[in-house]
Structure 1
Amino acid sequence: MSPTRQRLQITAATPDPALLDLPWHIPLEEWPAETLAALPRGISRHIVRFARLSGRVIAIKEIGETVAYREYELLRQLRRLDVPSVEPVGVITGRRSPEGEPLEAVLITKHLQFSLPYRSLFSQSLRPDTATRLIDALAVLLVRLHLAGFYWGDVSLSNTLFRRDAETFAAYLVDAETGDLHEQLTEGQRAYDLEVARVNIIGELMDLQAGEFLEEDVDAVAIGNALAERYRELWRALTEVESFGYGERWRVQARIDRLNDLGFDVGELDITSDLDGTTVRIQPKVVESGHHSRRLMRLTGLDVGENQARRLLNDLDEYRAATDRQAEDESFVAHDWLTEVFEPAVRKVPREMRGKLEPAQIFHELLDHRWYLSQQQHRDVPLNEVAKSYVKHILPNRPDEQSILGIQPGDLRDSTDTIPTIDDDQLIG
């Protein structure tokens, strides 16, 4: 049976005709190298491959037809809820080999640029603060999923991708096949998800230790427990009821400010008072993440991570003070900062090196490098000088995170002459 005679069924919101050019008549595990993109893969119970399609990279997972359609719809719903997750492209069924043998359906998602699986981040040179930042990112993701009513069912590092977000990481859901979306989760569902996360993470870290990819003195159990504690702390901050005296109404704004500092906006509050007016109770009713990133988007059009946005906004505020323009409309000042500061600095990076990091992450690291040089030279070093030093001394040592070569830790260890390894000094910037 000719591969062109297959009766493929493509389900996609915006189908790309180029999908028909991929070798769907071949089992995914046997796809030719010239079709594939060399990108790091995490551990998966299914066969997963990356391929180039119309100038972008897609992830393809062979999976049962029913599960493929279900996961596709779940990912679409998560995207509508603005939860960090991979973007679904479509489902393809009806695949057959040239001999007429049926092949499994595939789920197609967009590759998340500048993201890495945890096995590409954990190495023998891992430092404790890096592990903490990864766990913090996963805790924030889990809280956001639970606030949206999503029960994951298989929370793990393997089912998560990580991207740099200034000095921290941002976590994205990759695998949703065990998940389910509800109007609101019960305490039991949240507790079970959290316990699964804790146990899975401990197991994954112990597995790395057994393979000598993680130092033995790293306490895997403590890291797993830290995830649970961080989750509970964040959940309380976002949802618990707070009571205070009637004369302390300033604490309403203080609660909102505290949530903003955590990166969340409060869309609605439930405020009640006792009959005698002596006590006021406050509880956030609608909490949305992305407080700083939404503000930066509104002012500049830049779509960046939450902590990147926080850093860029701080620099914008410094620019506004340095130019004595506090009385001017913020949007006008933001436009000038974008065209006079941010864009010229990012353009100092040679075109061939721009795939290493996102522009916002590059600017964040430029600000860090400026502080270091200014401390070293006891003067305010202009950003032009900083950019030249950064491009010459710092950026060449960064892995190319847009299309980093990476397979498994063992492959990296055996091929150090040709494949860049990732050590913790490169991660922390």
Structure 2
Amino acid sequence: MAAPQLRLRAPHPGLLGLPWDRPLAEWAAPQVPLRDLAVGPSRHLVKFVECDGQWWALKELPPRIARREYDVLIRLEEMALNAVRPAGVVFQPDFDTAILLTRYLAGSWQYRRLFMRLPPDAPKHRARLLDAMATLLVELHRHGVFWGDCSLANTLFVRDGQLLQASLVDAETSEVHPSLSDGQRGLDIDLTVENVAAGLLDVAARLEKPELEPGFLTEARSIRERYDQLWELLHAEPTFGFADRYRVEGTIRKLNELGFAVDEVSLQPVSAGADELTLHVAVGDRRFHATQLQRLTGLDVGEGQARILLGDLQAYQGQLSREAGQDVDERTAGQLWVMEVATPMMHRAHAAVGGTGTPIQAYCDLLEVRWLLSERAGHDVGTERALQALSRQAVPSESAAQLRVVETPTEPFSVLDDHED
């Protein structure tokens, strides 16, 4: 027998000891530490294993496709794009197959489980998913990545403050180019709208509610509009008079509000001797607030989480300044906030939700729920009432924290249950 060819980027002892000389279909517990997780429809066999305290996803593919997908995923990782991280590929010459190994995306949700539990009259929550998908597609296209099979089934969602972040799971049909043409982008958007519509119709059929189909189709088509609006904002090159150059600040602010850092601003005359200028903005990574929070506190969090936490930090800085009778600088306030506010409240919030998710996300949920409850009451309800609402899963329906309640209607879930259908 020909020995399998292993190419592992995570050479843990447990991974090396797996039965790579046997077809994936023959792997069985208890000899192999498998985890039975539903993955929904898939063209290829997928299994999950636990090794060395971590979870890994294994997918059996033809060797040529496995090699290409592995290479694409490495490129996506190098560009820091949202996608599952490749951990290795194993070629099995005796079976003319290969096994692609990726790191399990902890804390992620499949759309089916989430959509099946979302009430039909909760378009805000579905809009968060579609915004996340449109944003992911824009980010991929900005970096020259043609997905080729963007769908709800090939996307995983992770909560990030009040937002959802989408991650690419399947890169079998993906290609990486120096840049994409408008035609390539248009084709990818067409495929996305078609695939998402099919996925939502499947949800309506599973719920046995055909009356939802027209609304679901409209929501699927909205991905194109969401994509176009963001793409236009990132790539527009407006012109204006020299005296109106103050408008640059408004453009930068809008980009920063969406989380995009601005690397460079260029103002060039439309033509020689003209008074009109063309604005070109070089947009960087979508971690503007996350970078700012990390600089002040050392915390490395998601962009959506950072926006919420920065608001809390700024309120705390104002409180410190009032108590001290003088301004307290950002860095000092940031260090005190981590020690006196954020760290203890993260643990309390995490305990209130039964230890599910991450402490940082639990604290973001607490801050959002406190604000919404205070808005309803017309006064600050305080932290204790917000904690009680979280622990009772009685959060306002318009809150992103409601997604936690939808996901776990009666009992806490473990991170490893998140992929289950």
Q: TM-score, normalised by structure 2?
A: 0.87
Q: 2:316 aligns with which of 314, 319, 323?
A: 319
Match of 1:402 in 2: 415
Pair 93,114 (structure 1): closer, same or farther in 2 beyond 3 Å: same
Q: Which amino acid aligns with 2:222?
A: A
Match of 1:199 in 2: 194
Q: Distance in 1 between matches of 2:284 and 2:298?
A: 23
Q: Deviations along 1:71-92, whole A, 9 cap, x unmatched?
A: 1111111111111111110001
Pair 214,70 (structure 1): closer, same or farther in 2 beyond 3 Å: farther
Q: Distance in 1 between matches of 2:186 and 2:411?
A: 39
Q: Distance in 1 between matches of 2:218 and 2:129?
A: 14
The reply to whether residue 257 of structure 1 matches residue 270 of structure 2 is no
Displacement of 1:286 after TM fit?
3.8
Q: Distance in 1 between matches of 2:222 and 2:133?
A: 11
Pair 213,113 (structure 1): closer, same or farther in 2 beyond 3 Å: farther
Match of 1:81 in 2: 79
Q: Residues 153 and 193 of structure 1 are in contact (CA less than 8 Å); yes or no, is this contact kept in structure 2? A: yes
Match of 1:71 in 2: 69
Match of 1:364 in 2: 364
Q: Distance in 2 between matches of 1:76 and 1:121?
A: 29
Q: 1:245 aligns with which of 241, 245, 254?
A: 241
Pair 17,240 (structure 1): closer, same or farther in 2 beyond 3 Å: same
RMSD: 2.5
Once the two structures are superposed, the pairs formed by residues 387-426 of structure 1 within 5 Å of their partners are 387=387, 390-391=390-391, 397=410, 399-400=412-413, 402-404=415-417, 407-408=420-421
The reply to whether residue 110 of structure 1 matches residue 108 of structure 2 is no
Q: Deviations along 1:50-87, whole A, 9 cap, x unmatched?
A: 11011011111111112212211111111111111111
Match of 2:347 in 1: 347
Q: Distance in 1 between matches of 2:334 and 2:36?
A: 39
Q: Residues 90 and 100 of structure 2 are in contact (CA less than 8 Å); yes or no, is this contact kept in structure 1? A: yes
Displacement of 1:215 after TM fit?
6.0
Q: TM-score, normalised by structure 1?
A: 0.85
Paired residue secondary structure (1:247): helix
Once the two structures are superposed, the pairs formed by residues 95-134 of structure 1 within 5 Å of their partners are 102=95, 104-123=97-116, 125-126=119-120, 127-134=122-129
The reply to whether residue 44 of structure 1 matches residue 57 of structure 2 is no
Once structures 1 and 2 are overlaid, which stretch shifts more, 281-290 or 195-204? 281-290
Displacement of 1:200 after TM fit?
0.8
Q: Distance in 1 between matches of 2:209 and 2:22?
A: 37
Q: Deviations along 1:160-204, whole A, 9 cap, x unmatched?
A: 100112222110011111111111111111000000101111111
Match of 1:20 in 2: 16
Q: Distance in 2 between matches of 1:225 and 1:390?
A: 34
Q: Which amino acid aligns with 2:90?
A: I
Paired residue secondary structure (2:106): coil
Once structures 1 and 2 are overlaid, which stretch shifts more, 70-79 or 23-32? 23-32
Gaps of 5+ in 1: 96-100, 409-429
Match of 1:53 in 2: 51
Q: Distance in 2 between matches of 1:289 and 1:110?
A: 23
Displacement of 1:377 after TM fit?
6.7
Paired residue secondary structure (1:390): helix
Ranges of 4+ aligned residues in structure 1 off by more than 4 Å: 349-355, 372-379, 392-399
Q: Distance in 2 between matches of 1:240 and 1:280?
A: 13
Match of 2:400 in 1: none
Paired residue secondary structure (1:123): helix
Paired residue secondary structure (2:247): helix
Paired residue secondary structure (1:69): helix
The reply to whether residue 217 of structure 1 matches residue 230 of structure 2 is no
Q: Deviations along 1:11-33, whole A, 9 cap, x unmatched?
A: 12342221132233443344324
Aligned-residue identity in percent: 36
Once the two structures are superposed, the pairs formed by residues 167-186 of structure 1 within 5 Å of their partners are 167-186=162-181
Q: Residues 246 and 277 of structure 1 are in contact (CA less than 8 Å); yes or no, is this contact kept in structure 2? A: no
Q: 1:230 aligns with which of 209, 222, 226?
A: 226
Q: Distance in 2 between matches of 1:29 and 1:352?
A: 41
Q: Which amino acid aligns with 2:282?
A: K
Pair 42,243 (structure 1): closer, same or farther in 2 beyond 3 Å: farther
